[in-house]
Structure formats: C-alpha cells, structure tokens
C-alpha cells in the first residue's frame, strides 16, 4: 500500500534527501511505499490548508512547531500510536515543541535555537571584546554602537518572529502569546521590548533597518554580506554562514537580560492526518522517518541539526569537513556547537496562535514603521494586535 507524504523542499538536492528517507521506509517495511510530494516552504502551509479544505490531505504531514496550533485539529494525536519508548533518544525540547494542548502531534526531525552570529574581523579591527558566555544586553548595546562605522552598522533588525521575539524575550521576558494561545502583542512588556529593539535604529543609530516590508531575511543577508557586524539567526544557518561569509564567523549565545540568556526553540517534524486511512502503517513510517538511521543521514548531509542526540556528532563532523580548507573554521564550529547546545538546553519552545502565519505577516507590514521611527512601537504593536485579534 502507498502513503502520501507532503514536505517542503528548496531544491533538487533536498528533494533527493527526502526521497532517500522515503526509500528507508520501504526498505524496513516492504509492504509500505511512501509517495513524496514537495512544495517550496513559502507555499507549503497554504497548500496544506487548501488540501484540507478539499478533503485531500496527505497521510504523512510535515509540520513546523510554530505553525502547529493552526493545524492541530487536522492532525492525529500520536500518543496512542507511538509505542512505549517511541520518543526515547530525542532531545526533550524537540518533543515538547511538537506538542500542543497536552498531545503529541509530530515526531521531531530537527531542533533549532537562536544565536548571535558576529564578524570576528570587525570586532578585532574595532578593538571590541568578542561576545561570549555571560555577556549581557548592555554589552551587546555597547558593541553594536562601537561597531557602527564607515557606513556599516553594528546589528541588523529583523521582522522574523523567532529573531526579534527572542531578543524581546531575553530583554525583559516579553511574550507575544498568552498561556491559552491568544495574542498579546500590545502587552506592556512587549511594547517596552520593541521600543528598545526599534531604538537600536532610531535612537542609538547602531542597527540596520530592512529596506522594505518584503525583506524578511534582511538581517542575516546583511550580516553575511559584511554590512552589519552582528545578527540574530537560527542555528540552522550555522553551516551556510561559515561557508558563505568572507570573514571569520563567530557564534555567541543571545545576550543575557534580567533572567539570563533566553532563546526560543523551534523545530519541524512528521505526523499524520486524521483523515489517513492507514494509521498503523503511517505510524511505522514515522518511526523510520525520524529514526536513528534517517537522522544520521540528514545530519551527514548538513540538512538538519538532528533532534536525536546520538546523531548530533554527525552534524558537527559535516561542518568540520565542509570547512576543512578554512584554518579558522575548527574554532568556529566548536563555538557554534557549544552555543547551539547551550541554547537548546535552556531554550523555551515557541507556541504561536492558531493563525500565527497571519501574525508573522503583520509583523513585516507594521514593524517597519517602528523601525524607521514613523510610528512608535506601541502604535505598531497595537495595530498588529487589533488585526490579529479581529
């Protein structure tokens, strides 16, 4: 019998990797074939909604933790389908991030935290102490100010949820969503955090502002191109940043606020739809798709930081081998892996609202006004709150 599997992919290489995973299922269970269908990430969740509306959901559903609340009602809780010990070997944070309302909806593929990437060459040239374990928000502010010179900025602002919300979380513990899943984007702590964040551009003049509301990847692009000295970005880009940047890449934890260094944790995984007519077979397929062999394979390809702890050395080896001709890469990889593990150890799973995609779009539309100073952070967040709650 054949199970349909829907997953995002950015190109032929990623699709090839996913087909390898599908083949592993058939190798383990010859009576099960997995029919893979892919879409670009930007289109994936819209397509999934369209399929659900038309009653044509795939059996195996790929899901991102941030968007799980909006799709949980379409998915089958896995707690009764996963055998005892089925989540053994995964990082606890990876499992928790794919739970919603007390139920597990997907088994994890990867796990990611947010870190600060910095330009080691720029820090050395400016005579600024490099960031590291124990550095604080005040240290970050001073560094951003000192590194703003010669037409380049010390830091790059971002619209992206994990990027900017992690900085809000570490700054004063601000959270955009209530414990019962409602948006609280105009909460006083959120207003204070984004007033500070936007003020890095409007007040201290030490941060680069996205050119338009369509520049979702502004901060990381400006960093890799050498136009900013620091950027907050996910651990998923550790390998690409090391490989693409023309300077020595440094990696540090998120600067500590009053409650220490805080970061959100997010990940992706695989679950099954409620409409799947072959749930027992789908459970077997999920066990293979997220099993040790599959996780190690993806780590060896540099595709993910694996959710299984015993597959993580394979990812570190990939990074080291990928940059073997760069004499400075060994230290960067070691620091990066430490920052990754420290962030994941103390990270907080991000749980969005049921329509988080819409909220994230509103961020890019209205935060630009705060970043440029044409409106206050309070006004921008109030608008986002009204539109997301309406």
49 & 141 share domain: no
Q: Is residue 332 assigned to a domain? A: no
Per-residue pLDDT of 218-235, as tens digits, reads 999 999 999 999 999 988
Q: Do 189 and 72 belong together in one domain?
A: no
pLDDT at 60: 97
- Pair (254, 151) in one structural domain: yes
Residues 23, 126, single domain; the answer is no
CA 194 to each of CA 114, 165, 370: distance values in angstroms, whole numbers, following the listed order:
18, 9, 8
d(C-alpha 185, C-alpha 191), whole Å: 8
| Domain with 284 in it | 2-111+267-322
Find the CATH number of the domain harbouring 299: 3.40.190.10
Distance, CA of 63 to CA of 66 (rounded, Å): 9
Domain contains 328? no
Identify the band that residue 206 occupies on the pLDDT scale cut at 50, 70 and 90.
Answer: very high
Q: How large a percentage of the chain has pLDDT more than 90?
A: 64
Q: Give the model's pLDDT for residue 390.
A: 61
pLDDT at residue 325, as a whole number: 67
Domain boundary among 322, 345, 360: 322
pLDDT in tens, 153-166: 999 999 989 999 99
pLDDT band at 71 (very low <50, low <70, confident <90, very high): very high
| Spatial separation of the C-alpha atoms in residues 92 and 224, rounded to whole Å | 32
> Is 65 within the bounds of a domain?
yes
Q: Residue 121 above 60 pLDDT?
A: yes
Please check the confidence at residue 17 and state whether its pLDDT lies above 80.
yes
Overall number of domains in the chain: 2
Task: Report yes or no on 331 lying in a domain.
Answer: no
| Domain annotation covers residue 203 | yes
Q: What angle do CA 115, 125, 204 make, to 5 degrees?
A: 60
Claim to verify: residue 313 and residue 272 sit in the same structural domain:
yes
> Are residues 138 and 205 located together in one domain of the fold?
yes
CA distance 218 to 163: 11
Instruction: Look up the pTM and report it.
Output: 0.85
Interval 84-106 mean pLDDT: 86
Residues 193 and 148 in one domain: yes
């Amino acid at each position: 019998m054949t199970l349909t599997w829907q997953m995002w992919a950015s190109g032929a290489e990623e699709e090839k990797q996913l087909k390898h995973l599908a083949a592993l299922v058939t190798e383990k269970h010859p009576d099960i074939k997995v029919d893979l269908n892919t879409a670009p990430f930007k289109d994936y969740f819209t397509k999934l909604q369209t399929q659900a509306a038309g009653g044509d959901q795939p059996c195996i559903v790929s899901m991102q933790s941030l968007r799980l609340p909006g799709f949980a009602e379409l998915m089958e809780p896995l707690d009764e389908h996963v055998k005892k010990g089925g989540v053994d070997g995964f990082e606890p944070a990876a499992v928790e991030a794919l739970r919603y309302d007390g139920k597990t909806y997907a088994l994890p593929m990867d796990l990611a935290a947010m870190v600060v990437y910095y330009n080691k060459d720029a820090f050395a040239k400016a005579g600024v102490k490099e960031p590291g374990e124990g550095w604080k928000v005040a240290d970050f502010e001073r560094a951003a100010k000192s590194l703003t010179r010669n037409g380049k900025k010390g830091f790059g602002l971002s619209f992206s949820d994990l990027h900017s919300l992690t900085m809000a979380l570490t700054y004063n513990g601000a959270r955009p969503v209530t414990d019962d899943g409602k948006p609280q984007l105009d909460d006083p702590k959120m207003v204070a955090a984004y007033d500070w964040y936007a003020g890095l551009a409007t007040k201290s003049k030490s941060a680069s502002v996205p050119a338009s509301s369509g520049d979702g990847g502004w901060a990381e692009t400006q960093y890799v191109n050498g136009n900013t000295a620091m950027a907050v970005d996910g651990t998923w880009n550790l390998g690409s940043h090391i490989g693409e940047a023309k300077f020595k890449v440094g990696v540090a934890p998120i600067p500590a606020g009053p409650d220490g260094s805080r970061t959100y944790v997010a990940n992706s995984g695989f679950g099954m739809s409620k409409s799947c007519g072959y749930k027992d077979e789908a459970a077997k397929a999920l066990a293979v798709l997220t099993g040790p062999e599959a996780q190690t394979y993806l780590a060896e390809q540099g595709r993910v930081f694996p959710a299984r702890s015993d597959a993580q050395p394979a990812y570190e080896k990939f990074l080291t081998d990928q940059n073997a001709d760069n004499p400075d890469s060994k230290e960067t990889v070691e620091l990066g892996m430490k920052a990754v593990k420290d962030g994941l150890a103390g990270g907080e799973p991000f749980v969005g609202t049921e329509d988080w995609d819409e909220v994230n779009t509103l961020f890019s539309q209205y935060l630009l006004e705060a970043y440029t100073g044409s409106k206050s952070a309070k006004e921008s967040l109030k608008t986002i709150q009204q539109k997301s709650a309406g």
